[in-house]
Structure 1
Amino acid sequence: MKKTKTAMVLVVSIALLTVMTGTAMAAYTIDGDLDDWGVHPPGSWYASSPAKSAVENWGDGPNSDSISPGIEECDIEAMYVDEDVSGPYIYIAIITSMPPEGVDYACGSGSIHLISGDLALDFDNDGIYEYGVKLTDDSRTVPGDIGDVFSNPTWVKITTHCAQSQLAFSNIDSGTKTGHATIVYTNYADWSWDNGAANYVIEMKIPKSALGISTEGEVDLCATVSCTNDVITIKDFHYTEIPEFATIALPLAATIGLFIYFDNRRKREEE
């Protein structure tokens, strides 16, 4: 009975430690499967609350019957965002028909190579995207690894021929690396084909520290492709801050002290 009580204290202590340090079980597994988001297209496009969703899957352009994305590979169907509340990560998922290696598209007498645009984040709602996440290893974009996070990026549109102009930029040309996001860019098994092209999921978790987040606030998200034929955005996603160590140090000490007290008491009683 005494050992059971001590074991219970240990379990509770570990659970409290886990929650208070923001390392509780992640809300989403970064694996390209959106079941944990509650997304099951074509029947259910929208993510479960409290995640925020933007859904298009249109055939004629963003909110317009007069604009066409062109080839299906330029289509972005949906974007989702959520966070660890008072935890260390923001989670984002995108459904697109653009393959991770890009696609060649006939243009005039030659061809152009289309790729995914990089993820853009605007933290002060001024239309200037102060952070970006690299989503492609194409040599025309900023050097680095897929998933690298950059502050104060220089944004460029890398495909200007045979392209539309739904957005003035598509990819990061340069910037200051601040961290790295865990990313999976893979075939979407639950909805593998659409209008003659394969579907893909870009799923990621971004450390809030890499985005300079120290207090709660809101962020606008923007995703496109290199020709900017399609653009999808999420506005005003509210995120929370990561607790500073000082706010959890005393509860941590109290929890550890509680375990030590009961453990020492058990040992004395057993002597």
Structure 2
Amino acid sequence: MKTGKAIVLLGMGMLIFTMMTGAVAAYTIDGDLDDWGVNPANNSWYATSPARSAVENWRAGPNSDSISPGIEECDIEAMYVDEDENGPYIYIAIITSMPPEGFDYSCGGSTVHLITGDLALDLDNDGIYEYGVKLTEDSRTVSGKIGDVFRDPTWVKITTECAQSQLSFSNIKNGTRTGDATVVYQGYTDWPQDNGAANYVIEMRIPKSALGISAQGDVDLCATVSCTNDVIMIRDFHYTPIPEFATVALPLAATIGLFIFFERKRRREGE
């Protein structure tokens, strides 16, 4: 009987966990995109459904007619997004040739230090990116650490010298910090080089709570570099909210009630 009771309790625990977390996406934040179904070295550019993909790798890949980034280090190859359906996180991955420490570029007799842009998110489709995730420790951007999430950021373009103008902004200057995203920014071992430059993966897990998500909606995502020579976007990715406690508590209470009823019945029959 004790074994049976333990099994029932274990099942209830699993049910509680499932109800509290929703459908959890199977992404490990480790800089390896195999769990997304992505491996450009094997010509696997697009993530497995239901994840969304944007692929614009310059001079290679399925959409090679994108705007030239000037130098390979300013190229953003692809971006991917998925979520925990009715769960706590949004997942995003970016492939780029911009190193995490940035890149020194000779321009007009001087050296310009280029950096990756911060991730921009527009959660109400009004063209204003009201949330951002810090992706660089460069002192010209908002203070904090990589992965900090900011609401109502002030967006600025960091590099204007020898720069293209594919976007009017690149990085967060200031804003209200709302939480932390888990971010890995490292060399891409599955596809180490492209056009003579190293490739990198930026993979992240963003808490929906840090983005103020309380209802379902659509988000526009935008990634660039400090010179805005290249820009990549995913528009209208549909996200779901984390269920309110009441929606979880009612079926949970019913499950507990059934367990108590059958446990008492078993005890009476054993008397």
For the criterion TM > 0.5, the same-fold answer is yes
**Alpha-carbon shift at residue 40 of structure 1 (Å):** 1.4
The offset of 1:258, in angstroms, is 4.4
Letter in 2 for 1:207: P
Partner of 1:17: 16
Q: TM-score, normalised to structure 1's length?
A: 0.92
The aligned runs of 1:102-141 (5 Å cut-off) are 102-141=102-141
Q: Which residue of 1 aligns with 2:193?
A: 193
Deviation at 1:44, TM superposition (A): 0.5
Provide the residue aligned with 2:225 in structure 1: 225
SS at match of 1:189: coil
Does structure 1 conserve the Cα–Cα contact (< 8 Å) formed by 2:56 and 2:64?
no
Describe the superposition over 1:44-103 as per-residue Cα deviations: whole angstroms up to 9, x where unpaired: 00000000000011139xx78584211111000000000000001110000001111001
What residue identity is the alignment partner of 1:232?
Answer: I
Q: Which amino acid aligns with 2:129?
A: Y
Residue 88 of structure 1 aligns with an amino acid whose one-letter code is P
What is the DSSP-based 3-state SS (H/G/I as helix, E as strand, rest coil) of the residue aligned with 1:21?
helix
Alignment deviations for residues 113-132 of structure 1 (CA, whole Å, 9 cap, x no partner): 00000000112222211110
Return closer, same or farther for 1:105/1:264 CA change in 2, 3 Å cut-off. farther
**Structure 1: how far apart are the matches of 2:67 and 2:218?**
30
Letter in 1 for 2:100: P
CA distance in 2: counterparts of 1:263 and 1:145, whole angstroms: 52
- Name the residue aligned to 1:75: 75
| Residue pair 2:102, 2:115 contacting (<8 A) in 1 also | yes
Matching residue of 2:48: 48
Structure 2 counterpart of 1:209, one-letter code? S
Measured after TM superposition, the shift of residue 230 of structure 1 is: 0.4
For structure 2, the 5+ residue unaligned runs are: none
Unaligned runs of 5+ in 1: none
Is the contact made by 2:154 and 2:172 (CA closer than 8 Å) also made in structure 1? yes
Aligned pairs (5 A) from 1:148-227: 148-227=148-227
Separation of aligned partners in 2, 1:259 and 1:121: 44
Equivalent residue, structure 1, for 2:250: 250
Does 2:89 correspond to 1:89?
yes
* TM score, norm. by length of structure 2: 0.92
> 1:91 is paired with a residue of what secondary structure?
strand
Is the contact made by 2:142 and 2:174 (CA closer than 8 Å) also made in structure 1?
Answer: yes
Letter in 2 for 1:40: N
Distance 1:188 1:260 in 2: 53
Calculate the aligned-residue CA RMSD, in Å. Answer: 2.1
Q: Tell me the matched-pair count.
A: 268
Q: 2:30 matched to 1:31?
A: yes
Contact 2:148 2:179 in 1 (8 A): yes
> Within 2, Cα distance between the matches of 1:31 and 1:81?
15
